[in-house]
Amino acid sequence: AQSVTQLGSHVSVSEGALVLLRCNYSSSVPPYLFWYVQYPNQGLQLLLKYTSAATLVKGINGFEAEFKKSETSFHLTKPSAHMSDAAEYFCAVSESFGNEKLTFGTGTRLTIIP
């Protein structure tokens, strides 16, 4: 069985500050991990994905995430927040074989303070 926990349903950071959104997962087999972003009144857009190639994954809009197997974590970071980063972010996990479904976390709403 697979599951995802996102710590913090709301995160606020100042413009220019570090963004850190936390995601922990559980999976009975090696996982694939994803971060999706949802802007207001829109669908989900893929930010980045971990597929067992490199543990540090770079995505769009300056975001990156690091897969840490020992901590079962896949936290999302961005060195300097921009006003346009305000959105809801979802972490998702899929088992690397035998499972065609994604399991999503409950989401983290990111607010950027001017």
Please give the Cα distance from 16 to 19 (Å, whole number).
9
Please give the Cα distance from 79 to 5 (Å, whole number).
23
* Identity of the residue, 24 or 94, whose beta carbon is nearer to other proteins in the bound complex: 94
Task: State the nearest-atom distance from the C-beta of 97 to other proteins, in Å.
Answer: 6
Task: State the nearest-atom distance from the C-beta of 79 to other proteins, in Å.
Answer: 25
Task: Name the 3-class secondary structure at 52.
Answer: coil
* Identity of the residue, 12 or 52, whose beta carbon is nearer to other proteins in the bound complex: 52
Task: State the nearest-atom distance from the C-beta of 96 to other proteins, in Å.
Answer: 7
Q: What is the chain's alpha carbon radius of gyration, rounded to the nearest angstrom?
A: 14
Q: What angle do CA 5, 39, 25 make, to 5 degrees?
A: 15
DSSP state of 40: T
Task: State the nearest-atom distance from the C-beta of 45 to other proteins, in Å.
Answer: 7
By the criterion CB under 8 A, which residues form the site for other proteins? 9, 32, 34, 36, 41-46, 49, 51, 90, 94, 96-97, 99-102, 104-107
Please give the Cα distance from 66 to 58 (Å, whole number).
9
* Identity of the residue, 50 or 73, whose beta carbon is nearer to other proteins in the bound complex: 50
* Identity of the residue, 9 or 14, whose beta carbon is nearer to other proteins in the bound complex: 9
